[in-house]
Structure 1
Amino acid sequence: MTAVVVIAKECRPGRVKTRLTPPFTPAEAARLAAASLDDTLETVAALPVARRVLYFEGRNPPATAHGFDVIRQAGGELDERLAVVFDALAEPMLLVGMDTPQFRPDDVREAIAGLESTGADAPDCWLGPAADGGFWALGMRMPRGDVIRGVPMSRDDTGAVQRRRLEEAGLSVGQMPVLADVDTAAEASVIAELAPDSRFAREFRRLTAGRPA
């Protein structure tokens, strides 16, 4: 059975979602990040998988991580931290970020089924492209970090480079839906509208109530 891993950091002011400041204060940006992480953990908790992992940077995992195995993040740049967890797990693995609170079980249902399939036509890997050119999810039937190390992160071609690295390693790649990350206030507004019942959307509405449009 597949393990789903959420990579996240402790939501402290000035350490998360700094591109939301301004218009939000560092404390408000941290509250939005915490709501986004809670939404993500709640969605992962609802998935029909054998293991759920929070790959965490910080000392205080959120209460919504109940039932998750908590693994401390490795040091180094993001590509190295991702590679370490893909090397650490032996079972089929799907990693998701904490920045897509609109993500729902249907977005990964096909990928999870594919990772658990023994069929010859099933892709070896699954990539969830982000609207900004990165990726919000990455799955491998046989996890390996070497195909992640050295991929330049946080660029508009990160997703394309990661896909190319997988294919150059002889791995077939299935695609999950394209989702937007919460990075800017404009993206936060769009995502709050896409998932109006989410914790993230409720927090966004509280913080923006009465502000000029």
Structure 2
Amino acid sequence: MAKAPVPGRAKTRLAGVAGAEGAADLAAAALLDTLEAAATAFPPGRRVLALDGDLAAARRGRELAAAAQGWQVVPQAGQGFADRLVEGHRQAHRLAGGPVVQVGMDTPQLCPVLLGDLAEAAHRHGGPVLGPADDGGWWVLVTTDARQAAVLADVPMSRADTGRLTAAALAAAGHPALEAATARDVDLPDDAEAVAALAPGTRFAAAWRELASASGTLSGPTSTGAAP
């Protein structure tokens, strides 16, 4: 699930420090990192990009279009974000089969091994896997059947209790979820700095360092640890 990184539409909560174009550059870098990790974990035919917007109008649009080669790209559909998530799972199961490992573009620190492990865990469990986010939401939902994602339509999104409510809704529908490792979404400047420090070898970290250097107002990542 991704939004085309168009200035003014992508990562708007970072625009206060990065500006609209800088925020879109960070979003583009995060999406490129995510596409690369997923493409390493899963072969062509097993990758679906549910896209909101047009890559032709996006920052790094040509690079993103090249990275999306080998993906089945479908437009996001639905009235709200929850509906788009449900439809995204339905489309992915229809086009690529399951398990479906659904992530967004907010976790550029992801590594291919983790994505593959999540799919295998769902296969062994015979049901969903849900990864909580530090902010109370969730960063990954793995489904083994599209009907499991239908519960999302009744879960309020983008709240501090979205993760808990999603787990409860899955359990109430007879699909108790395994819990995956917690991860940090990039929503705010503190998140961006922490994730860039965690994965300094990513495009996202490079974009953050460039932004910090240009602005002189952000400290940027200082970690020298290896990227995941």
Q: After TM superposition, is the score higher than 0.5?
A: yes
Tell me if the contact between 2:167 and 2:176 (Cα under 8 Å) persists in the aligned partners: no
Higher relative contact order (CA 8 A, sep 6+): 1
Cα pair distance change 1:200/1:100, threshold 3 Å: same
Residue of structure 1 equivalent to 2:86:
83
Question: Which protein is richer in helix relative to its size?
Answer: 2
Question: Which protein is richer in strand relative to its size?
Answer: 1
Find the residue that maps to 1:30 and give its secondary structure.
helix
Deviates more, 1:182-191 or 1:144-153: 144-153
Q: In 2, distance between residues paired with 1:151 and 1:33?
A: 25
Structure 1 position 69 matched with structure 2 position 64: no
Residue of structure 1 equivalent to 2:226:
none
Tell me if the contact between 2:155 and 2:165 (Cα under 8 Å) persists in the aligned partners: yes
Q: Structure 1 residue 123: deviation in Å?
A: 4.5
Find the residue that maps to 2:153 and give its secondary structure.
coil
Residue of structure 1 equivalent to 2:225:
none
The superposition leaves residues 4-40 of structure 1 with CA deviations (integer Å, 9 ceiling, x where unpaired) of xxx0011011101111121111000000000000000
Residue of structure 2 equivalent to 1:149:
153
Residue of structure 1 equivalent to 2:188:
184
Aligned length: 203
Find the residue that maps to 2:205 and give its secondary structure.
helix
The superposition leaves residues 73-127 of structure 1 with CA deviations (integer Å, 9 ceiling, x where unpaired) of 103111011111223324211111111000112333332112334xxxx241001
Residue of structure 1 equivalent to 2:121:
114
Tell me if the contact between 2:5 and 2:28 (Cα under 8 Å) persists in the aligned partners: yes
Find the residue that maps to 2:18 and give its secondary structure.
coil
Residue of structure 1 equivalent to 2:55:
60
Find the residue that maps to 1:23 and give its secondary structure.
helix
Deviates more, 1:42-51 or 1:65-74: 42-51
Find the residue that maps to 2:17 and give its secondary structure.
coil
Q: CA RMSD in A?
A: 1.5
The superposition leaves residues 36-88 of structure 1 with CA deviations (integer Å, 9 ceiling, x where unpaired) of 00000000000045510110011227221111000111031110111112233
Deviating runs (4+, > 4 A) in structure 1?
Answer: none
Percent of paired sites with the same residue = 38
Tell me if the contact between 1:123 and 1:172 (Cα under 8 Å) persists in the aligned partners: no
Tell me if the contact between 2:41 and 2:113 (Cα under 8 Å) persists in the aligned partners: no
- Using structure 2 for the length normalisation, give the TM-score: 0.84
Q: In 1, distance between residues paired with 2:113 and 2:54?
A: 31
Deviates more, 1:157-166 or 1:59-68: 59-68
- Using structure 1 for the length normalisation, give the TM-score: 0.90
From 140, 144, 148, give the equivalent of 2:143.
Answer: 140
The superposition leaves residues 110-165 of structure 1 with CA deviations (integer Å, 9 ceiling, x where unpaired) of 32112334xxxx24100111111111110111122421111100000001101101
Residue of structure 1 equivalent to 2:20:
26
The one-letter code matched in structure 2 to 1:56 is L
Tell me if the contact between 1:107 and 1:176 (Cα under 8 Å) persists in the aligned partners: no
Residue of structure 1 equivalent to 2:223:
none
The one-letter code matched in structure 1 to 2:50 is Y
Find the residue that maps to 1:137 and give its secondary structure.
strand
